[in-house]
């Protein structure tokens, strides 16, 4: 029984970290479409920090990557 409680604590602690911090990513890549699409709504808007769970550093990096991907035509501006 104690092992289960310990696993829950570890998972919860990992959940508190940003997805990019967990993966040890320095800057979000604009060519990674799967990751960027997870951070957009169906209408093409970016999720807020609270909704996406990103830290401020990676949220800014994500915003920049999405804007570059949109400019290059990899992502649409609207749905």
Q: Between vectors from CA 58 to CA 18 and to CA 25, what angle results, nearest 5°?
A: 75
Q: Which residue would you say has higher pLDDT here, 10 or 74? A: 74
pLDDT interval class at 55 (50, 70, 90): very high
Q: Which domains does the chain have, with CATH numbers?
A: 2-72 (4.10.640.10)
pLDDT, one tens digit per residue, over 2-54 is 666 665 565 666 667 888 998 898 899 999 999 999 999 999 999 999 998 99
pLDDT value for 34 = 93
Contact predicate 20/32, CB 8 Å: no
Q: Which residues contact 36 (CB under 8 A, 6 or more apart)?
A: 28, 30, 62, 65, 66, 69, 75
């Amino acid at each position: 029984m104690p092992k289960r409680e310990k696993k829950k604590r570890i998972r919860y602690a990992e959940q508190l970290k940003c997805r990019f911090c967990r993966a040890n990513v320095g800057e979000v890549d604009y060519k990674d479409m799967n990751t960027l699409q997870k951070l957009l709504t169906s209408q093409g808007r970016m999720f807020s920090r609270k909704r996406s769970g990103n830290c401020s550093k990676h949220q800014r990096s994500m915003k920049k990557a999405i804007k570059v991907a949109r400019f290059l035509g990899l992502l649409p501006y609207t749905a």
